[in-house]
A and B are shown apart, each in its own frame.
Chain A
Amino acid sequence: MSVAPLTPVLTQDWDHERSWTLDSYGDYAALRSALRMEPDAVIDLVKGSGLRGRGGAGFPTGMKWGFIPQGPEPDGTVKPHYLVVNADESEPGTCKDIPLMMATPHTLVEGVAITCHAIRAKQAFIYVRGEVLHVIRRLQAAVAEAYEAGLLGKDVFGSGIDIDVVVHAGAGAYICGEETALLDSLEGRRGQPRLRPPFPAVAGLYAAPTVINNVESIASVPCIVERGADWFGSMGTEKSKGMTIYSLSGHVKNPGQYEAPLGITLRELLELSGGMREGSELKFWTPGGSSTPLLTAAHLDVPLDYEGVAGAGSMLGTKALQIFDQTTSVVRCVLRWTEFYKHESCGKCTPCREGTWWLVQTLERLEAGKGTEGDIELLLDQCDNILGRAFCALGDGATSPITSAIEHFRDEFEAGMHTPAWELFPYEASVAWTKGASA
């Protein structure tokens, strides 16, 4: 490597002493300058930076903000605008928002304040996954600190602008990461996706115009305000600008978060993380969590940006790189993921609810070596009947690991018709960490 590809920006201060405190973080200088700008100028700045949603879909953030209708409704009423931060990080393999909120929650809070100003919202909600209680507490403490310092609340920095932030804990449902299910959950209902249209930008939280962004997207805003769109655009690729956090897990020497410009390759990331664990070689990996079709060693040099991964037939997703070596049974792995989707399907629509229930039972047969002739075709047909038929993207995501695994490792599924996966791939061999070992 001629140039160190790491570009720590969001992760820059993670190792600072008490990095989660305001003292350590700073004085919200970016917010101060943003408040001196017109809201539309902030939106234009973010548009110009090329920042795209870091939650998976990669929708341009500034453009999303621009969809919020300004001025009164057709009937003359004026509705409030809301900012909702999706901090319900629960995609298997994804671990970037949680450590960010744990280490430097003020990056997010400052981003929230700037975004509120840009979209003319007086109220923001951060919807945090309920299981991560320690993160919720850090975030709540950070928000409290910011209020105390006058960085939130009434008349922030004497600008006449009011910004209120509520940290809301979810109750442990993957579906609540789906933005409309998140809104229902936030409103106190069962988290199930809503019919669209109307889209949240028009009728979101409490039927008012709402922007919903991922934690990392919002946390990226202060540095753009501070250092400019050109600086941000100098990193990454033409259509996927800026830096982002890649989370590596699995059979690598040093799993963790690696902040690098978009477009870095897995080969480079593996070098940075010390390579595969001792004596192992890459078998397959997910580029962005289990909902993105898995890739193989043939894709080591695919640029990890939105276009690059799409070109390889997968999706950048949440940049959750789960790395599996030759000891792993792909059938077993896919079954575990499918069990997750079955458990997390909200139940609203038929294909996802019933399909995941059935997929698990079919895969269990194959894992146990009790598959029958035609089971692979059956799996593919089940997936075909779910993909694009479900109410939201959860159903689509559930099919990705199965269809891609069959595409790349069909022989392992065929082996499932006579030999249990645990005989072909003794499970002890793929355990990433020896029992009782510490990092």
Chain B
Amino acid sequence: MTVTKGNDSGATESQEISVDQNLVTLTIDDVEVSVPEGTLVIRAAELVGVEIPRFCDHPLLSPVGACRQCLVDVPDAGNGRGFPKPQASCTLPVSPGMVVKTQVTSPVADKAQTGIMEFLLINHPLDCPMCDKGGECPLQNQALSHGRGETRFTEAKRTYPKPLSISPQILLDRERCILCARCTRFSEQIAGDPFIAMAERGALQQVAIYENEPYSSYFSGNTIQICPVGALTSSAYRFRSRPFDLVSTPSVAEHDACGAAIRVDHRRGKVLRRLAGDDPEVNEEWISDKDRFAFTYDRQPDRLTRPLVRDPETGALEPASWPAAFAAAARGLLAADGGVGVLTGGRLPVEDAYAYAKLARTILGTNDVDFRSRPHSEEEAAFLAHAVAGTGLGVTYSDLEAARKVVLVGLEPEDEAATIFLRLRKAWRQNGTEVVALASHATRALDKMGGRLVRTVPGDEAKALGEAGLEAGTIVLLGERLARVQGAFSSALATARRSGARLAWVPRRAGDRGAVEAGCLPNLLPGGRPVSDPEARADVAAAWGVTAVPSTPGRSTSEMLAAARAGELGALLVAGVEVDDLADPQGAIEALDAAGFVVSLEVRTSAVTERADVVLPVAATAEKAGSFVSWEGRRRPFGAVFERPHALSDTRVLAGIAEAAGRDLGFRTSVAAGAELDELGLWDGARAPQPEVVPGRAARTDPSEVVLDTWRRLIDDGRGQDGDRHYQATARPSVALVSAATARAVGVRDGDEVVLGTERGAVAVPVAVADIADGVVWTPTNSNGLSLPRILGAAYADVVTLERSPQARPEGQPVVEPEATVDPSTSPGLESKESEL
């Protein structure tokens, strides 16, 4: 279990070099080297310490041999005969007895490389002093190491009007492009979005977009990073900084549970860009656009910068000193009549989550703690206690890649876990992995994974699991929205046990799995210890130096909110929770209003802070160290990008509250919290019992009703994505997918508008007729200003009414329509300065 093994980000068995690989021995620059069969000469050379210059070559893309920069001399191909011409080492596999001479030992290879470099530079503008890439540019670097000092080219260079906007987020300066086709190959091979391609020919060849198909890809930012020149630049970052002015910090993406490695570059206390980190075990070298571009949320005008305490006389939140705020929070929480409920949300590093879990049990004396700020169920909590908490590293990305079959239940990986999507696409392309989705319709992502659909109406997952053909070695990925499906987790466990399939739970948020491990659940103590187990409780009590931890199982998020509404819960301690994420946002607001005392630890102003009695501003992810636990169970530590004097971690704030209450939390820093959690270790006693909930069925609908299928798109209105209009402009427009039969029943055609309604409210969305289960409508949960939980109070698998717009709408309910999306053509990004805060 990685949570207990310190900061080891995971050497796993799959990293071991398998010894049965056939090795081939060859000679490179007079050095003998043995490499696995099939290795390309360019990489074999790296092993003897020779770096052959290259541009089009990329280890994760198929070889193309286009730029010809990596030419080497091969006097013996292994058969006693040499190649008469220099060979591209990026397309040449090794063979036994081969002799290779690179630029180091062969004048022919050296001249060939120098010649190619000269050709590449004749049409390159050499505008390095004003180019984003200058200072970190493979062309610049390799021209210096392998090029001529002076040019012999005195004539006219090829020029183009610049720049060309190939998406709202990406600009292309064609004259800089050396036509290596890395970007087009990435889009086609890795992302599966072949919407950029080479056009024209000869020296006028250029990267182009299609007339009618926009370059719409969740992974487009990777093309900027792998561009070996400054031809592709980011609208937001263009002309903002020089690489040598930036300070880089390795980190982990905080937007999903994938644990993708990133690099955060900042200058003078401000993050300017984020890049993909290189972690072969996790995200390889790719990240989603959300991981790359959504980082300005923590410097919005509504950022909280100082503690606030509600003035009893005016009723307004007034700035306060930290000691005063700690004291006010401690006083209110300890005095709460009926106890305190703790809502921690899904965005906390595991150390912070642990601080909440411990504070709840030791100082607040309750098991009323729950991280789930989304629809949830008791069955889910039981499943997490039985099958997830404290189980360590389970199914890994490498396992996905090697699996013969992967079944997706309640999970759309491209939107909800982008790194998983990329790995599954790779698994299908390279190993023929069969991907099966239990869903109402085949998404484009499923096509891109070569997947098969087992058509399933939301709510029928438990039943449909039997049709997915689970067998030994099959991996089943369970999404968090299965909490809305009665019996889904129970059936998955039972079916997996029968078939020998392996299960993995894929939550949406970076802090979800860590919160499970830290004990932020009403039925779980840290390390997977069941609250109901006296030995587990004694174990924890001993470690914490307390006589006992509460034995009564706590209340879930919705039970706590209901109790607060009913006046049965005296106070709420709330971390980063967005009420619109909850199953019943309106009820949550009422609960916050009804609770006697509310303490909010937040980064930015929210519905919770507005209703809190004490608001304690906390550090955003970039401002603190910690670690997330990915869906694999892999500990993903990250360091603080920079320290802000007033940005305290949640752990530090909770320690302050404890101390103000005259108690000691046992630690003040994330490092110490993490060390204590590690020392506590994993529970090795009896596991919590397996949930055995009878499978439910999809809701029955009458003709005017449909079952709602919905999830959050990768790029949507989530608050973690605020502040970058270029990024926002790449969000996909809202749409309601219905089958032809459903459309006929409602009386709509493609492009018409439908109204989805509940007794709470209604939303109007353009309809698209699709190959989706009859009696189902799919629409995104929180896109284009339409928050389904807030407006409809509806969630996955709920029943909603579906009508043609603008016919009779529910009385008295305003119909909310999607906000206009930004027109990509009007946002070239050259003049945009307003994102500078």
Complexed CA–CA distance, A416 and B86 (Å)? 33
Q: How far is the CB of A425 from chain B (nearest CB, A)?
A: 24
B202 touches A342 (CB 8 A): yes
Q: How far is the CB of A177 from chain B (nearest CB, A)?
A: 14
Given contacts A195-B64, A389-B85, whether A190 and B198 have CB atoms under 8 Å apart is yes
Q: CB within 8 A of B91: which of A195, A347, A354, A389?
A: A195
Tell whether B119 is near chain A: CB-to-CB under 8 Å. yes
Q: How far is the CB of A160 from chain B (nearest CB, A)?
A: 36
Complexed CA–CA distance, A381 and B153 (Å)? 13
Given contacts A353-B203, A354-B122, whether A347 and B198 have CB atoms under 8 Å apart is yes
Where chain A touches its partner, the secondary structure class is helix
Provide the residues of chain B in CB contact with A357, threshold 8 Å. Answer: 122-123, 158, 202-203
Q: CB within 8 A of B203: which of A345, A381, A388?
A: A345
Tell whether B542 is near chain A: CB-to-CB under 8 Å. no
Q: CB within 8 A of B86: which of A342, A388, A391?
A: A388
Complexed CA–CA distance, A344 and B120 (Å)? 18
Q: How far is the CB of A176 from chain B (nearest CB, A)?
A: 11
A354 touches B123 (CB 8 A): yes
Complexed CA–CA distance, A348 and B85 (Å)? 18
A347 touches B156 (CB 8 A): no
A356 touches B202 (CB 8 A): yes
B119 touches A358 (CB 8 A): yes
Q: Which of B82-102 contact A (CB under 8 A)?
A: 84-86, 91
A347 touches B65 (CB 8 A): no
Complexed CA–CA distance, A236 and B571 (Å)? 103
Tell whether A134 is near chain B: CB-to-CB under 8 Å. no
Tell whether A361 is near chain B: CB-to-CB under 8 Å. yes
Provide the residues of chain A in CB contact with B119, threshold 8 Å. Answer: 350-351, 353-355, 358, 385
Q: Which of A332-371 contact B (CB under 8 A)?
A: 342-351, 353-358, 361-362, 365
Given contacts A190-B198, A346-B202, whether A354 and B68 have CB atoms under 8 Å apart is no
B155 touches A350 (CB 8 A): no
Interface segment, B110-118, B481-489, B736-744?
B110-118
Provide the residues of chain A in CB contact with B198, threshold 8 Å. Answer: 190, 347
B205 touches A353 (CB 8 A): yes
A349 touches B122 (CB 8 A): no
Provide the residues of chain A in CB contact with B86, threshold 8 Å. Answer: 388-389
Tell whether A78 is near chain B: CB-to-CB under 8 Å. no
Tell whether A173 is near chain B: CB-to-CB under 8 Å. yes
B202 touches A350 (CB 8 A): no
Provide the residues of chain A in CB contact with B179, threshold 8 Å. Answer: 347-348, 350, 353
Tell whether A133 is near chain B: CB-to-CB under 8 Å. no
Provide the residues of chain B in CB contact with A195, threshold 8 Å. Answer: 63-65, 91
B66 touches A348 (CB 8 A): yes
B201 touches A389 (CB 8 A): no
Given contacts A357-B158, A388-B84, whether A345 and B201 have CB atoms under 8 Å apart is yes
A361 touches B205 (CB 8 A): no
Complexed CA–CA distance, A381 and B202 (Å)? 20
Tell whether A378 is near chain B: CB-to-CB under 8 Å. yes
B205 touches A350 (CB 8 A): no
Tell whether A27 is near chain B: CB-to-CB under 8 Å. no
Interface string of A401-429 (1 = CB under 8 A from B): 00000000000000000000000000000
Tell whether A390 is near chain B: CB-to-CB under 8 Å. yes
Q: Which of B107-149 contact A (CB under 8 A)?
A: 111-112, 115-116, 118-120, 122-123
Provide the residues of chain A in CB contact with B304, threshold 8 Å. Answer: none
Provide the residues of chain A in CB contact with B118, threshold 8 Å. Answer: 385
Q: How far is the CB of A350 from chain B (nearest CB, A)?
A: 5
B115 touches A347 (CB 8 A): no
Q: Which of B179-226 contact A (CB under 8 A)?
A: 179, 197-205
Provide the residues of chain B in CB contact with A389, threshold 8 Å. Answer: 68, 71, 85-86, 112, 115-116
A347 touches B84 (CB 8 A): no
Closest to B55 in A: A350
Interface string of B334-361 (1 = CB under 8 A from A): 0000000000000000000000000000
Q: How far is the CB of A345 from chain B (nearest CB, A)?
A: 4
B178 touches A347 (CB 8 A): no
Q: How far is the CB of B174 from chain A (nearest CB, A)?
A: 12
Given contacts A389-B71, A391-B68, whether A347 and B204 have CB atoms under 8 Å apart is yes
Tell whether B465 is near chain A: CB-to-CB under 8 Å. no
Tell whether B577 is near chain A: CB-to-CB under 8 Å. no
Complexed CA–CA distance, A175 and B202 (Å)? 11
Provide the residues of chain B in CB contact with A230, threshold 8 Å. Answer: none
Q: How far is the CB of A69 from chain B (nearest CB, A)?
A: 21
Provide the residues of chain B in CB contact with A354, threshold 8 Å. Answer: 119-120, 122-123, 203
Tell whether B700 is near chain A: CB-to-CB under 8 Å. no
Tell whether B69 is near chain A: CB-to-CB under 8 Å. yes
Complexed CA–CA distance, A346 and B123 (Å)? 16
Closest to A365 in B: B155
Q: CB within 8 A of B152: which of A348, A365, A378?
A: A378
Q: How far is the CB of B93 from chain A (nearest CB, A)?
A: 10
Q: How far is the CB of B101 from chain A (nearest CB, A)?
A: 15
Provide the residues of chain B in CB contact with A343, threshold 8 Å. Answer: 202
Tell whether B67 is near chain A: CB-to-CB under 8 Å. yes
Q: How far is the CB of B494 from chain A (nearest CB, A)?
A: 37
A350 touches B153 (CB 8 A): no
Tell whether A384 is near chain B: CB-to-CB under 8 Å. yes
Complexed CA–CA distance, A107 and B112 (Å)? 46
Complexed CA–CA distance, A349 and B201 (Å)? 11
Q: Most chain-B Cβ atoms within 10 A of its Cβ — which of A378, A384, A385?
A: A385
Closest to A352 in B: B202
Q: CB within 8 A of B68: which of A344, A358, A362, A390?
A: A390
Closest to A377 in B: B152
Complexed CA–CA distance, A342 and B153 (Å)? 17
Complexed CA–CA distance, A173 and B202 (Å)? 11
Complexed CA–CA distance, A357 and B153 (Å)? 11
A350 touches B67 (CB 8 A): yes
B155 touches A361 (CB 8 A): yes
A351 touches B201 (CB 8 A): no
Q: How far is the CB of A384 from chain B (nearest CB, A)?
A: 7
A385 touches B115 (CB 8 A): yes
Provide the residues of chain B in CB contact with A361, threshold 8 Å. Answer: 155-156
Complexed CA–CA distance, A365 and B154 (Å)? 11
Closest to A173 in B: B201
Provide the residues of chain A in CB contact with B156, threshold 8 Å. Answer: 361
Complexed CA–CA distance, A381 and B118 (Å)? 11
Q: How far is the CB of A90 from chain B (nearest CB, A)?
A: 14
Provide the residues of chain B in CB contact with A390, threshold 8 Å. Answer: 68
Complexed CA–CA distance, A365 and B69 (Å)? 28
Interface string of B473-493 (1 = CB under 8 A from A): 000000000000000000000
A342 touches B68 (CB 8 A): no
Closest to A348 in B: B66
Extra inter-chain contacts (5) besides given A346-B205, A381-B115, A384-B111, CB under 8 Å: A350-B69, A354-B122, A355-B119, A361-B155, A361-B156
- 16 examples of A-B residue contacts, CB within 8 angstroms: A346-B201, A346-B202, A349-B67, A350-B67, A350-B116, A351-B116, A353-B203, A355-B119, A356-B202, A365-B155, A385-B111, A385-B118, A388-B85, A389-B71, A389-B112, A391-B65
Closest 6 A-B residue pairs measured CB to CB? A347-B205, A385-B115, A388-B85, A354-B119, A361-B155, A345-B202
Chain A interface residues toward B at CB < 8 A:
173, 175, 190, 195, 342-351, 353-358, 361-362, 365, 378, 381, 384-385, 388-391
